[in-house]
Structure 1
Amino acid sequence: MKQIIYFTLTILLVSCSSEFLEKDPYGQLTQEQISKEENLESLIVGAYSILNGQIDNASNAFNSPASNWSFGDVVSDDAYKGGGGTGDQNNIHQMEIFSTNPSLIDIERKWKALYEGVRRTNIAIGILNETEDISSDLKQQRLAEMKFLRGHFYFELKKIYNRIPFLDENATSLTDFKVSNTELSNEQVWGKIETDFNDAYAILPATQSQKGRPTKYAAMAYLAKVYLFQGKWDQVLTSTEDVMLNGGYSLMDNFEHVFLPENDNSPEIVFSVQQSINDGNPSNYNGSIGDRLLAPGGPRYSAYGFLRPTQNLVNAYKTNSAGLPSMDNSELTMSDNVDPRIDFTLGRPGIPYKDLGILYQADWARDLATYGPYGPKKRIVSANSPHHLTVWPYVSALNYYIIRYADVLLWRAEALIHTDDIEGARTIINNIRKRARDGNKVMTLDGSSTAANYFIEEYPAFADANEAMTALRMERRLEFAHEGHRFFDLVRWGIAEQVINTYVAAEKEIRPYLNGVNFINGKHEYFPIPQSQVDLGGTDEGGNPLITQNTGY
Structure 2
Amino acid sequence: MKKLKYFIAIVTMVITTSCGDKFLDTDNLYGKSLDTYYSTPTDIEEAMAGVYNAIYTPGVHSEETVAANLLSDMMLGGGGPDDKSAKYVDNFEDPDEDTYRDMWTQSYNGIARANAIIEKTATADFSTFFASTEEAEAFKNQAIGEALFMRAFFYFRLAKFFGGVPLIIAIDDPKDVARATYTETYAQIASDLKLAIETMPDKSFTEISTSEYGHANKWVAQAYLGRAYLYYTGYMTNIEGQATSDLPLADGGSLSASDVSAYLEDCIQNSGYALASDFRNLWPYSYVNQSAGSTVLPWAETEGLSWVGQDGHSPTFGTGNYETMFVQRFSFGDWGWSNGNSYTNRYVLYSGIRDNSMTPFGQGWGWCTVNPTLYNNWDDADPRKQGSILETGEADQGTASFEAGKGDHETGLFNKKYSSIQYPDEEGTVVGMFVQLYDWSNTDMQLMHAQDFIFMRFADVLLMHSEITGTADGMNAVRARAGLPAVGYSLDAIKQERLHEFAFEGLRWFDIVRWGDVETAFNGTIDVTNSGIPATYSVNYRSETKGLVPIPETEVRLSNGVYQQNPGW
CA distance in 1, matches of 2:20, 2:547: 31
- Residue 361 of structure 1, CA deviation: 4.9
CA 1:82–1:494 in 2, change beyond 3 Å: closer, same or farther? Answer: same
Contact 2:118 2:147 in 1 (8 A): yes
One-letter code of the match for 1:124?
I
CA distance in 2, matches of 1:280, 1:6: 20
Question: 2:479 — aligned with what?
Answer: 433
Question: 1:240 — aligned with what?
Answer: 264
Query: Aligned to 2:350, which of 284, 290, 293?
Result: 293
For residues 276-295 of structure 1, what are the alpha-carbon distances to aligned partners after superposition, in whole Å with 9 as ceiling and x for unaligned? 34899964754324543233
CA distance in 1, matches of 2:35, 2:109: 24
Contact 1:224 1:240 in 2 (8 A): yes
CA distance in 2, matches of 1:490, 1:499: 8
Question: 2:317 — aligned with what?
Answer: none
CA 1:507–1:338 in 2, change beyond 3 Å: closer, same or farther? Answer: farther
Contact 1:98 1:524 in 2 (8 A): no
Counterpart of 1:308 in 2: which secondary structure? strand
Question: 2:382 — aligned with what?
Answer: 339
Contact 2:525 2:537 in 1 (8 A): no
One-letter code of the match for 1:293?
Y
Question: 2:273 — aligned with what?
Answer: 249
Question: 2:50 — aligned with what?
Answer: 46
Counterpart of 2:368 in 1: which secondary structure? strand
CA distance in 1, matches of 2:406, 2:416: 15
- Residue 127 of structure 1, CA deviation: 3.2
Counterpart of 1:80 in 2: which secondary structure? strand
Question: 1:218 — aligned with what?
Answer: 220
Contact 2:352 2:414 in 1 (8 A): no
Contact 2:69 2:505 in 1 (8 A): yes
Contact 1:429 1:472 in 2 (8 A): yes
1:305-384 alignment runs, 5 A limit: 305-317=366-378, 319=379, 337-351=380-394, 358-363=398-403, 366-367=406-407, 370-380=409-419, 382-384=421-423
For residues 136-195 of structure 1, what are the alpha-carbon distances to aligned partners after superposition, in whole Å with 9 as ceiling and x for unaligned? 4422321111111111111111111112111112435xxx111101xx333222111111
Counterpart of 2:525 in 1: which secondary structure? helix
- Residue 253 of structure 1, CA deviation: 0.8
Residue 179 (structure 2) pairs with residue 152 (structure 1): no
Contact 1:477 1:486 in 2 (8 A): yes
TM (normalized to structure 2)?
A: 0.75
CA 1:548–1:24 in 2, change beyond 3 Å: closer, same or farther? Answer: farther
Question: 1:119 — aligned with what?
Answer: 112
Counterpart of 2:497 in 1: which secondary structure? helix
Contact 1:80 1:309 in 2 (8 A): yes
Question: 2:132 — aligned with what?
Answer: none
CA distance in 2, matches of 1:94, 1:278: 27
Question: 1:547 — aligned with what?
Answer: 563
Contact 1:33 1:39 in 2 (8 A): no
CA distance in 2, matches of 1:311, 1:478: 14
Equivalent pairs, count:
470
CA 1:168–1:513 in 2, change beyond 3 Å: closer, same or farther? Answer: farther
1:33-72 alignment runs, 5 A limit: 33-37=36-40, 38-51=42-55, 53-54=56-57, 60-66=58-64, 68-69=65-66, 71-72=67-68
For residues 353-411 of structure 1, what are the alpha-carbon distances to aligned partners after superposition, in whole Å with 9 as ceiling and x for unaligned? 76xxx33554267325x322222210125313642474143332221111111111111
Indicate the RMSD between aligned Cα atoms, in angstroms.
Answer: 3.2
Contact 2:351 2:367 in 1 (8 A): yes
**Larger RCO (CA within 8 A; separation ≥ 6):** 1
For residues 231-258 of structure 1, what are the alpha-carbon distances to aligned partners after superposition, in whole Å with 9 as ceiling and x for unaligned? 3433342221111111111110111111
For residues 45-74 of structure 1, what are the alpha-carbon distances to aligned partners after superposition, in whole Å with 9 as ceiling and x for unaligned? 1111222x23xxxxx5423224x23x2221
CA distance in 2, matches of 1:253, 1:396: 25
CA distance in 2, matches of 1:360, 1:149: 44
Contact 1:91 1:104 in 2 (8 A): no
- Residue 509 of structure 1, CA deviation: 7.9
Counterpart of 1:518 in 2: which secondary structure? coil
- Residue 109 of structure 1, CA deviation: 1.9
Contact 2:325 2:456 in 1 (8 A): yes
One-letter code of the match for 2:106?
A
Query: Aligned to 1:128, which of 121, 142, 159?
Result: 121
Residue 557 (structure 2) pairs with residue 535 (structure 1): yes
Contact 2:349 2:419 in 1 (8 A): no
CA 1:15–1:498 in 2, change beyond 3 Å: closer, same or farther? Answer: farther
Percent of matched pairs sharing the same residue: 23
Question: 1:94 — aligned with what?
Answer: 88
- Residue 80 of structure 1, CA deviation: 1.1
CA 1:359–1:13 in 2, change beyond 3 Å: closer, same or farther? Answer: closer
Counterpart of 1:363 in 2: which secondary structure? coil
Contact 1:114 1:157 in 2 (8 A): yes
Residue 381 (structure 2) pairs with residue 387 (structure 1): no
Question: 2:464 — aligned with what?
Answer: 411
CA 1:281–1:252 in 2, change beyond 3 Å: closer, same or farther? Answer: farther
Question: 1:110 — aligned with what?
Answer: 103
TM (normalized to structure 1)?
A: 0.77
Question: 1:57 — aligned with what?
Answer: none
CA distance in 1, matches of 2:263, 2:556: 37
One-letter code of the match for 1:271?
F
One-letter code of the match for 2:392?
P
- Residue 94 of structure 1, CA deviation: 1.2
